């Protein structure tokens, strides 16, 4: 990695790359390179000295690896993307809420359908999700590289991904909410995964007209208890809390001195119900009328205690819920005024301050955790909201405000008390000092930035070298590929005195909202499954899994069990003969242990494609309801005789 330390000119000179002067000093290729030098290549391609510097900072040659992994939400794709930094190479799209055929996610393997079936809502199969906020598991407020969580805003759900095999292990649904948004965020030791609602609805899932909005509609926050040993959310030990029918937005968990507390923004404290065709102000006006909205300040440790006490919770749709009244009586919930239609709330790495951005206010507002605590102790309230929640005195908890520019949304942190805030309307990143509460510089980005993600940015010690701007529009940055433009991830070098844009990465599979960036060496991903017959559902070897030499077909009545193995370059058995109407179960193990020796298993016209990674076992279950001849074959080009890795399913009439 090239680090700043001197001016750009000096660095380029050091590289022998002062364009047109010294680039020839980098003459490449030695004897075999054909004679071109870097200077003439750069000139021929119209690259400036800055371009060459950016290229050198991001280029990762073959055989070398990236320093960081970015886990990005896949937006409407319902998936998660894994991207290397600084190269910005896409490494994988992890199937989460949506089938992903290459990984065999939801395309025939029973184990994957079981996870997706956990995510059914209202009796419906859901084939998409709107992923917003990935959260890496933390130990002592530092990413530990074990798990990733992500929410589905559209169908309020949370998924758990195990970072050993990068597969989704669990989906939990939240019937209380109409949509979620303030999630996922984890507490400093991943005790809980926080999910906040967005658009208020009746929590009981019943009908209530909009005239009953104030009485019947509510927001909620759910604290999903994470059982790290099992790698699963423990639903029985999870609980929710009722919130007023404002629209909750982003949230964050306290750390350090603020550990034990959670913070959730709200907008629409006006409780506007829209109705532009009924002569009412549209939501965009009705929900933006107030100068101040209210941030939820929640003592989650106390809430977890209260949730276990008899008589202090109610059961709604099978969920344990702390009613709003109880939350107020127990001193679990407070409000802080925050200007104007806030979006992001971000706790500083040391946990002493909170940064809030109001979409319609050019400032970021910084709150002091020490002052918030004192105001709570002193009952320094400026009033109560319509639901009896005490509102802390704004002036008592304010640390300061910094004017940054138009449309501030989200803040990330570097090292040395430096903060970076996205400016949506301005299409810029503002770098500012938390210490001096001053704007330092702005960098234009392309275009309409939403979130920012910084290396190790949500930990107690951000690395302060890379920042990614997650831009909503790309307008003129890429070759037109039709009216639907890719989104644009822009990599920014924040290691030097000035921010430098390094790389544009088009994202063409959905709108990424948020991402987290972890040091690559913290991830201990498996290169093969650690045993033959390994079931990713239980993360252990299944003793009943097919093994080499034990392949067979067993028939009991009209149930046919096939015990199959896959190895370069054949399936055993190669013939499966059944009768029409038989219930067929194919158990199949990839008995290879060689790195990357993955086999696919597709059955023609049966909507089946598995990805059998080395050691993995999976199950396919179907009724042979049509007589005929159906080839099955391996869909991964695994060997020279890959095309021969095939067989016949023969269904007799």
Task: List interacting residues with ligand CUA (CB under 6 A).
Answer: 599, 634, 636-638, 642, 645
Contact present, 318 and 244 (Cβ < 8 Å): no
Around Cβ 16, how many Cβ atoms within 10 Å?
15
The H-assigned helical ranges of 478-560 are none
Task: For the CB of residue 141, give the shortest distance to ligand K7E in the complex, in Å.
Answer: 20
3-state secondary structure of 476: coil
Task: For the CB of residue 221, give the shortest distance to ligand K7E in the complex, in Å.
Answer: 16
Q: Scanning residues 173 to 212, which ones bind ligand K7E (CB under 6 A)?
A: 181
Q: Scanning residues 342 to 381, which ones bind ligand K7E (CB under 6 A)?
A: 343
The H-assigned helical ranges of 313-433 are 324-329, 369-377, 394-397
What does 133 interact with, of ligand K7E, ligand CUA, none (CB < 5 to 8 A by kind)? ligand K7E
Pick between residue 321 and residue 597 the one whose CB is nearest to ligand CUA: 597
What does 320 interact with, of ligand CUA, ligand K7E, none (CB < 5 to 8 A by kind)? none
Strand-strand pairing, 575-579 and 646-652: parallel
Dihedral angle of Cα 37, 39, 44, 49, to the nearest 10 degrees: 150
What does 634 interact with, of ligand CUA, ligand K7E, none (CB < 5 to 8 A by kind)? ligand CUA
Burial bucket for residue 22 (CB in 10 Å: 0-12, 13-18, 19+) = middle
Of positions 12, 15, 161, 250, contacts ligand K7E by CB under 6 A:
250
Pick between residue 265 and residue 611 the one whose CB is nearest to ligand CUA: 611
Q: Which residue is nearest to ligand K7E, using beta carbons?
A: 450
Of positions 157, 216, 513, 599, contacts ligand K7E by CB under 6 A:
513
Burial bucket for residue 133 (CB in 10 Å: 0-12, 13-18, 19+) = buried
Of positions 11, 57, 113, 133, contacts ligand K7E by CB under 6 A:
133
Q: Does 431 bind ligand K7E (CB under 6 A)?
A: no
What does 599 interact with, of ligand CUA, ligand K7E, none (CB < 5 to 8 A by kind)? ligand CUA
Pick between residue 361 and residue 551 the one whose CB is nearest to ligand K7E: 361
What does 513 interact with, of ligand K7E, ligand CUA, none (CB < 5 to 8 A by kind)? ligand K7E
Pick between residue 301 and residue 568 the one whose CB is nearest to ligand CUA: 568
Q: Angle at Cα 512 formed by Cα 511 and Cα 518, nearest 5°?
A: 165
Burial bucket for residue 340 (CB in 10 Å: 0-12, 13-18, 19+) = middle
Task: For the CB of residue 129, give the shortest distance to ligand K7E in the complex, in Å.
Answer: 13
Q: Does 164 bind ligand K7E (CB under 6 A)?
A: no
Task: For the CB of residue 588, give the shortest distance to ligand CUA in the complex, in Å.
Answer: 12
Task: For the CB of residue 521, give the shortest distance to ligand K7E in the complex, in Å.
Answer: 28
Task: For the CB of residue 444, give the shortest distance to ligand K7E in the complex, in Å.
Answer: 18
Contact present, 325 and 243 (Cβ < 8 Å): no
Task: For the CB of residue 410, give the shortest distance to ligand K7E in the complex, in Å.
Answer: 6
Task: For the CB of residue 591, give the shortest distance to ligand CUA in the complex, in Å.
Answer: 12
Pick between residue 442 and residue 642 the one whose CB is nearest to ligand CUA: 642
The helix or strand, by DSSP H or E, that contains position 259, with its residue range, turns out to be none
Task: For the CB of residue 619, give the shortest distance to ligand CUA in the complex, in Å.
Answer: 18
3-state secondary structure of 190: coil
Distance, in Å, from the CA atom of 478 to the CA atom of 296, rounded to the nearest integer, reads 41
Of positions 409, 429, 467, 532, contacts ligand K7E by CB under 6 A:
409
Closest-CA residue to 590 (of 639, 555, 625): 639
- Across 300-423, where does the E strand assignment appear? 314-316, 319-322, 333-339, 342-347, 353-358, 363-368, 381-384, 390-392, 398-403, 408-413, 418-423
What lies within 8 Å, CB to CB, of 195 at 6+ separation is 151, 156, 158, 174, 177, 180, 182, 183, 184, 221, 222, 224
Task: For the CB of residue 634, give the shortest distance to ligand CUA in the complex, in Å.
Answer: 3
Distance, in Å, from the CA atom of 324 to the CA atom of 314, rounded to the nearest integer, reads 11
What does 642 interact with, of ligand K7E, ligand CUA, none (CB < 5 to 8 A by kind)? ligand CUA
What does 638 interact with, of ligand K7E, ligand CUA, none (CB < 5 to 8 A by kind)? ligand CUA
Strand-strand pairing, 559-567 and 583-590: parallel
Pick between residue 394 and residue 630 the one whose CB is nearest to ligand CUA: 630
Of positions 514, 529, 534, 563, contacts ligand K7E by CB under 6 A:
514
Task: For the CB of residue 16, give the shortest distance to ligand K7E in the complex, in Å.
Answer: 42
Enumerate binding residues for ligand K7E (CB under 6 A): 132-133, 181, 250, 343, 409-410, 450-451, 513-514
């Amino acid at each position: 990695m090239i680090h700043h330390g001197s001016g750009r000119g000096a660095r380029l000179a050091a590289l022998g790359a002062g364009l047109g002067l010294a680039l020839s000093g980098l003459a490449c290729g030695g004897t075999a390179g054909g004679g071109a030098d870097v200077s003439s290549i750069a000139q021929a391609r119209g690259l400036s000295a800055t371009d060459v510097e950016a290229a050198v900072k991001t280029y990762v040659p073959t055989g070398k690896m990236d320093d960081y992994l970015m886990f990005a939400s896949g937006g409407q794709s319902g998936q998660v993307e894994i991207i290397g930094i600084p190269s910005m190479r896409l490494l994988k799209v992890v199937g989460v809420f949506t089938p992903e055929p290459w990984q065999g996610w939801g395309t025939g393997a029973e184990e994957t359908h079981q996870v997706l079936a956990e995510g059914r809502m209202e009796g419906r199969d859901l084939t998409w999700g709107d992923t917003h906020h990935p959260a890496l598991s933390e130990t002592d407020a530092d990413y530990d590289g074990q798990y990733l969580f992500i929410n589905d805003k559209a169908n309020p759900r949370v998924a758990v991904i195990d970072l050993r095999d990068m597969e989704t292990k669990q989906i939990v649904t939240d019937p209380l909410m109409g949509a979620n948004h303030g999630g996922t965020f984890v507490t400093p030791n991943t005790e809980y995964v926080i999910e906040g609602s967005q658009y208020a609805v009746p929590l009981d899932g019943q009908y209530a007209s909009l005239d009953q909005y104030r009485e019947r509609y509510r927001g909620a926050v759910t604290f999903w208890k994470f059982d790290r040993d099992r790698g699963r959310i423990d639903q029985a030990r999870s609980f929710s809390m009722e919130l007023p029918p404002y629209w909750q937005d982003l949230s964050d968990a306290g750390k350090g001195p603020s550990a034990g507390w959670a913070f959730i923004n709200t907008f629409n404290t006006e409780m506007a119900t829209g109705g532009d065709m009924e002569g009412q102000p549209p939501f965009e006006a009705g929900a933006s009328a107030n100068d101040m909205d209210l941030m939820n300040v929640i003592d989650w440790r106390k809430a977890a205690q209260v949730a276990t006490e008899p008589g202090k919770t109610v059961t709604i749709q099978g969920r344990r819920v702390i009613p709003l009244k109880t939350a107020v009586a127990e001193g679990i919930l407070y409000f802080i005024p925050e200007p104007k239609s806030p979006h992001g709330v971000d706790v500083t790495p040391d946990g002493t301050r909170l940064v809030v951005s109001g979409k319609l206010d050019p400032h970021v507002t910084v709150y002091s955790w020490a002052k918030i605590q004192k105001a709570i102790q002193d009952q320094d309230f400026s009033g109560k909201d319509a639901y009896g929640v005490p509102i802390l005195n704004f002036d008592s908890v304010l640390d300061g405000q910094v004017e940054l520019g138009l449309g501030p949304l989200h803040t990330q942190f570097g090292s040395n008390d430096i903060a970076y805030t996205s400016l949506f309307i301005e299409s810029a990143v503002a770098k500012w000092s938390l210490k001096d509460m001053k704007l330092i510089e702005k960098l234009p980005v392309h275009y309409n930035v939403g979130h920012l993600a910084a290396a190790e940015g949500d930990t107690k010690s951000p690395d302060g070298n890379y920042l990614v701007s997650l831009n909503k529009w790309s307008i003129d940055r890429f070759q037109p590929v039709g009216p639907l433009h890719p989104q644009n991830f822009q990599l920014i070098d924040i290691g030097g005195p000035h921010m430098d844009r390094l790389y544009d990465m088009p994202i063409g599979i959905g709108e990424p909202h948020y991402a987290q960036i972890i040091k690559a060496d913290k991830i201990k991903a498996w290169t093969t499954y650690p045993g033959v017959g390994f079931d990713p559902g239980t993360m252990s070897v299944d003793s009943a899994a097919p093994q080499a030499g034990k392949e067979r077909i067993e028939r009991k009545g009209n149930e046919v069990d096939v015990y199959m193995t896959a190895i370069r370059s054949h399936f055993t058995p190669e013939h499966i003969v059944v009768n029409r109407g038989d219930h067929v179960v194919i158990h199949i193990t990839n008995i290879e242990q060689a790195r990357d020796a993955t086999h696919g298993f597709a059955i023609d016209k049966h909507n089946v494609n598995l990805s059998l990674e080395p050691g993995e076992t999976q199950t396919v279950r179907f009724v042979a309801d049509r007589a005929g001849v159906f080839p099955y074959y391996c869909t991964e080009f695994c060997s020279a005789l890959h095309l021969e890795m095939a067989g016949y399913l023969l269904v007799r009439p």
